[in-house]
Chains A and B, each alone.
Chain A
Amino acid sequence: MTVTAKAPPVSDERLSKPRVLDRLVVRPEIGAALGALLVFVFFSAATEQFLSLAGAATWLDDASTLGIMAVAVALLMIGGEFDLSAGVMTASTALVTAILSTQLGVNVWLALLISLAFALGVGALNGWLVMRTGLPSFIVTLGSFLALQGLNLGVTRLVTGSVQVSGMRDTAGYESAGYLFASTFPVFGQEFYVSIVWWVLFTAVAAILLVGTKFGNWIFAVGGAAMSSRAVGVPVLRTKVVLFMTTAFAAWLVGSINILRFTSVQANQGIGLEFQYIIAAVIGGCLLTGGFGSALGAAIGALIFGMARQGIVYANWNSDWFQLFLGVMLLSAVLVNNVLRRRAERVRR
């Protein structure tokens, strides 16, 4: 293709046929959607319970909290950063809420608010440190991962003398807060957890934000080329800090769902989950290098996770197979993403 000085012709002969395919291939969630369909069909055929309402309620629930985190992590990854503290953060927020309300007698709603402020503070600190030091977020958030892990165990042991906090059921405000975060609702006589609704809502808001707003445009831009974005006036620092805070917010949401559903929390919970979030986001089409990906894709990535994890249980297989499945999914996703990126980025002179 060349640049010419004449006005564009009405119908451009250079618009060749493969364009539709090109467009489709550029949609990052296509691969994940196909994968999800495959997994769904496979376990529907291979097991009895998978395709039942009870089955769906189980695997959707499994996918929901993972999905909320995966979507937030996907936004952050599109913005060019990682957050290794995201998994531990789901425990930290639950612990703050639980300790405040069970040990100090604070109303659950107030405890949730304080816990939210704590989460947003840690998120902002993560973002600010990454931007201020210029260090890779991998290292900075590895630091906050370790720090939070230490705090979770240390403070819990100090306050309760054990490594868990329980007794949420007897706290003031538990009923009403539980209704919002941990209740179930019936669909055709089957109870579904409300976390699924949170997941769908969170995904929808993130997806609209990402492709439909200025801020979403900035997320792609700061992840794709931070300096170019800055040069045209995009507030890079603010965008990235808000993304870290969004991840922290999601961790608070998931922490709240967990503590109100299980009414107790282990101080060592959440460790290792951060990689599941990243894996789900990558399966959903996010590039590890930033600047490309999809919120919907990450939600589908989490759905694949949930379906496979529960499907393997229904099939009575050993859960070891789940790890193998994950590995294969991840590798194929990374390979597909790589091809997509090269298509989009290939330089023609």
Chain B
Amino acid sequence: MTTPLIETKDIGKTYGSVIALSDVSTVVHAGEVTCVLGDNGAGKSTLIKILAGVHQHDEGSFQVEGEEIRFSSPREALDHGIATVYQDLAVVPLMSVWRNFFLGSEPTTALGFIDRKQGRAVTKKALSDMGIDLRDVEQPVGTLSGGERQCVAIARAVHFGAKVLILDEPTAALGVKQAGVVLKYVAQARDRGLGVVLITHNPHHAYPVANRFLLLKRGRALGSYEKDEIDIEELTRQMAGGAELEALAHELRAAEA
């Protein structure tokens, strides 16, 4: 087995007195999708913010390609090939598509000025390589649909050679059709050999693209499954708290007896 791109073991994080995450273990392999599922407040964002260098973990081990690591900034995570697309923070709405695409990695001419021509051309090419067809890369990103914005952000991560792509609820605010489009690009990034961490609270979005599932609840791992260990009904049932309800019923029966 090859070294995973990312591996966490019993990782934990507290915000002051709030335990946002504890004892969570998972792996991300190249060319595979690890899906993190959980209700609101389950700690999904906290987990990926640690992976992305926005926050640091307080407990456990976090390894990138077999090396123990603690990122001090998103820049550092990016330099290790970990790119993150946040749900609401994917892009800067008032900036043009190509300026967004190159934000933080602007192409410059010999004199140090931004190379706009190259910027526009490369953006157009990279987007169409991903199958994204935009009419005009000079338009503000704010004029794109929610799905298109996510796609631009995904294409950007792929273009700049990310090894790991982290997506925080990319489909949460989208309609059915747009969500499908975004999932298609997720699959495309996976097929290009990236390791993907996909966060969602919709099992129907997760199941078709994922290779493994990590279920979170109140900061703890409720379960961790490979795709062949679980079917979508069971995943949905677990998400809805089915297992917990059963355990509760069991306890009640035991108490009665």
Pairwise interchain contact A7-B133, C-beta atoms closer than 8 A:
yes
Q: Which chain A residues (291-349) contact chain B, with CB distance < 8 Å? A: 291-292, 341, 343-349
Taking a contact as CB atoms under 8 Å apart, the answer to whether A345 and B174 are in contact is no
Q: Mark B131-149, 1 if CB is under 8 A from A, else 0.
A: 1111110101011111110
Give bound CA distance, A19 to B90, whole Å: 26
Asked if A6 and B92 make an inter-chain contact with CB atoms under 8 angstroms apart, the answer reads: no
Chain A nearest CB: distance from B252 CB in Å? 45
A and B contact pairs by CB, cutoff 8 A, 21 listed: A4-B131, A5-B133, A15-B136, A23-B138, A216-B114, A220-B92, A221-B92, A224-B93, A228-B86, A228-B89, A228-B91, A229-B92, A232-B156, A233-B104, A233-B105, A291-B94, A291-B95, A343-B143, A344-B143, A348-B145, A349-B174
Contact between chains at B140 and A26 (CB < 8 Å): yes
When distances are taken between beta carbons in the complex, the residues of chain B under 8 Å from A227 are 86, 89
Query: B114 and A341: CB pair below 8 A?
Result: no
Question: Would B114 and A214 count as touching, CB distance under 8 A?
Answer: yes
In the complex, which residues 10-69 of chain B have their Cβ closer than 8 Å to any Cβ of chain A? 52, 54
- The secondary structure that dominates the B interface is loop
Contact A231 B133 (CB under 8 A): no
Q: How far is the CA of A258 from the CA of B14 in the complex (A)?
A: 54
Measured CB to CB, the closest approach of chain A to B238, in angstroms, equals: 30
Give which listed residue, A3, A216, A233, A348, contacts B75 with CB less than 8 A.
A233
CA–CA, A228 to B149, complex, Å? 12
Contact with B along A179-214 (1 / 0, CB 8 A): 000000000000000000000000000001001111
Please name the residue on chain A nearest to B147 by beta carbon: A3
- Docked-complex contact A12 and B145, CB < 8 angstroms: no
Whether A228 touches B90, Cβ cut-off 8 Å, given contacts A233-B75, A234-B104, A349-B146, is yes
- Is A1 an interface residue, CB under 8 A from the partner? yes
Min Cβ gap A28→B in Å is 10
Contacts of A213 in B (CB 8 A): 112-114
Given contacts A12-B135, A213-B112, A214-B108, contact A345 B145 (CB under 8 A): no
Verify B92–A228 contact, CB threshold 8 A.
Answer: yes
Contact A229 B103 (CB under 8 A): yes
Which one of A7, A214, A231, A348 has the greatest number of beta carbons of chain B within 10 Å?
Answer: A231
User: Please, which residues of chain B bring their CB within 8 A of the CB of A211?
Assistant: 114
A230: min CB distance to chain B, Å: 6
Among B103, B133, B140, B173, the residue within 8 A (CB) of A3 is B133
Q: Roughly how many angstroms separate A208 CA and B109 CA in the complex, as a whole number?
A: 14
| A8 CB–B CB distance under 8 Å | yes
Asked whether any CB of chain B lies closer than 8 Å to the CB of A217, the reply is yes
Please tell me if A132 contacts chain B, counting CB pairs below 8 Å: no
Assuming the A-B contacts A220-B99, A345-B142, are A231 and B89 also in contact, with contact meaning beta carbons closer than 8 angstroms in the complex? yes
Chain A residues within 8 Å of B95, by CB: 217, 220-221, 224, 291
Per-residue contact bits, chain B 119-130, to A (CB 8 Å; 1 contact, 0 not): 000001000100
Of A26, A233, A349, the residue contacting B74 (CB under 8 A) is A233
Contact of B89 with A346 in the complex, beta carbons under 8 Å: no
